[in-house]
């Protein structure tokens, strides 16, 4: 009887110690920050760090020894699976958006001082024209794990890599049979299952473009087994010596910062990589361009925040964007 009682006590103790609980991990990554909330009986932070290291070593333009840095330096290498996945997705979205999303804009991004190499002093129209000769993802090929491209052409996956990183972490968690999680990297989000600590669906917010106001979110929504990415021009911009304001969204046709009345674009799709890329592409289209484009792509759920001709803040939703 005593042995049976001890067995029951020990079994209960082991079962409780191995039961899942909500864990959190956060820190700096990809030039921004990450936050991961997940239900598990095991702390997985070291695994997250390893996956982040792999992605950085593949696609960080800030690491001289990364695959993408070697490709940009015209070193003949076999790229890894992360690079191949993102390259192929970029090709598809480049074609769908007729070049509005274009990872070869990297050299021009650098010239405007939004990249790893610093701005070009006295940037003028002649220099921009010269740089634009190397732009165009249609000039870049992937064959048997090797990239071929014009020598001056540079790749920069900054507008899609954060979303891809979210997907990689999500796929890893699901491979560990973890169904309840929320992943956020630099504002790009993936939600699965529900928030077990609150016993409610995952609720996320879209930041209000007026950062000086009292309203932190312009809208909130519930995400369930979906991803969301947001691209905005209200935070990441520069002002030159003449007082001119320019944003980090570079027009892939002109080489100049995009001029648009859109302040932010939020895209909800099944995977975060796709949402991330389309959020950037739609940002550069203008309101009417977004309206026309999304008629052809009903699978993209979108919310845009823009300024009207009367200088009023306005939102518009497309394809069933899931607002509360």
Closest listed residue to residue 324, CA positions, set 238, 245, 221, 180: 221
Sequence-distant (≥ 6) Cβ neighbours of residue 108 within 8 angstroms: 128, 131, 132, 135, 250, 255
SS (H, E, C) the chain: CHHHHHHHHHHHHHHHHCCCEEEEEEEEECCEEEEEEEEECCCCHHHHHHHHHHHHHHHCCCCCCCHHHHHHCCCCCCCCHHHHHHHHHHHHHHHHCCCCCCCCEHHHHHHCCCCCCCCCCCCCHHHHHHHHCCCCHHHCEEECCEEECCCCCECCCHHHHHHHHHHHHHHHHHHCCCCCEEEEECCEEEEECCECCCCECEEEEEECCCCCCCCCEEEEEEECCEEEEEEECCCCEEECCCCCEEECCECCCCCCECCCCEEEEEEEECCHHHHHHHHHHHHCCCHHHHHHHHHHCCCCEEEEEEECCCCCEEEEEECCCCEC
Computed on alpha carbons and rounded to an integer, the radius of gyration of the chain in Å comes to 22
Q: Is the dihedral of CA 199, 200, 206, 210 positive or negative?
A: negative
Which pLDDT score, from 0 to 100, does residue 116 have? 52
CATH for 22-318? 3.10.520.10
Q: What is the pTM of this model?
A: 0.86
Question: Would you list the domain boundaries of the chain?
Answer: 22-318
Closest listed residue to residue 186, CA positions, set 18, 14, 34: 34
**35 — alpha (psi -120 to 50), left (phi > 0) or beta?**
beta
Q: Are 266 and 221 in contact (CB under 8 A)?
A: no
Dist. CA 279–CA 88, nearest whole Å: 18
Cβ-count burial of 73 within 10 angstroms (0-12 exposed, 13-18 middle, 19+ buried)?
Answer: exposed
Q: What is the pLDDT along the chain (324 residues), one digit of tens a residue?
A: 433 433 333 333 344 457 899 999 999 999 999 999 999 999 999 999 999 999 999 999 889 999 999 999 999 999 999 999 999 999 999 999 999 999 998 778 777 766 555 554 567 878 888 888 889 999 999 999 999 999 999 999 999 999 999 999 999 999 999 999 999 999 999 999 999 999 999 999 998 876 566 677 888 999 999 999 998 865 555 555 555 445 567 778 887 777 778 889 999 999 999 999 999 999 888 899 999 999 999 999 999 998 888 888 899 999 999 987
Which pLDDT score, from 0 to 100, does residue 211 have? 55
């Amino acid at each position: 009887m005593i042995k049976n009682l001890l067995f029951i006590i020990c079994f209960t103790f082991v079962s409780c110690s191995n039961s899942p609980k909500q864990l959190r991990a956060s820190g700096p990554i990809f030039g921004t920050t990450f936050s991961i909330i997940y239900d598990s009986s095991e702390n997985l932070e070291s695994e997250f760090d390893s996956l982040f290291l792999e992605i950085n070593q593949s696609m960080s333009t800030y690491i001289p020894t990364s695959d993408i840095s070697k490709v940009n330096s015209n070193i003949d290498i076999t790229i890894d699976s992360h690079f191949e996945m993102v390259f192929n997705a970029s090709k598809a979205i480049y074609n769908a958006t007729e070049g509005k999303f274009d990872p070869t804009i990297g050299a021009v991004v650098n010239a405007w001082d939004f990249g790893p190499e610093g701005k070009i002093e006295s940037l003028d129209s002649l220099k921009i024209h010269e740089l634009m000769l190397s732009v165009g993802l249609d000039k870049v090929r992937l064959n048997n794990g090797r990239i071929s491209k014009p020598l001056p052409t540079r790749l920069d996956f900054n507008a899609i890599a954060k979303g891809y990183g979210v997907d990689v972490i999500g796929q890893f968690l699901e491979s560990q049979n973890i169904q309840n999680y929320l992943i956020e990297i630099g504002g790009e989000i993936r939600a699965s299952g529900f928030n077990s600590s609150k016993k409610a669906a995952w609720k996320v917010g879209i930041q209000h473009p007026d950062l000086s106001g009292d309203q932190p979110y312009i809208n909130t929504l519930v995400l369930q087994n979906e991803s969301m990415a947001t691209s905005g021009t209200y935070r990441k911009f520069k002002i030159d010596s003449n007082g001119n304001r320019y944003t980090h969204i570079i027009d892939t046709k002109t080489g100049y910062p995009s001029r648009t009345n859109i302040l932010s674009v939020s895209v909800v799709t099944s995977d975060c990589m796709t949402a991330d890329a389309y959020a950037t592409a739609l940002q550069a289209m203008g309101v009417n361009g977004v309206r026309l484009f999304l008629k052809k792509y009903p699978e993209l759920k979108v919310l845009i925040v823009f300024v009207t001709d009367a200088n009023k803040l306005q939102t518009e939703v497309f394809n069933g964007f899931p607002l509360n």
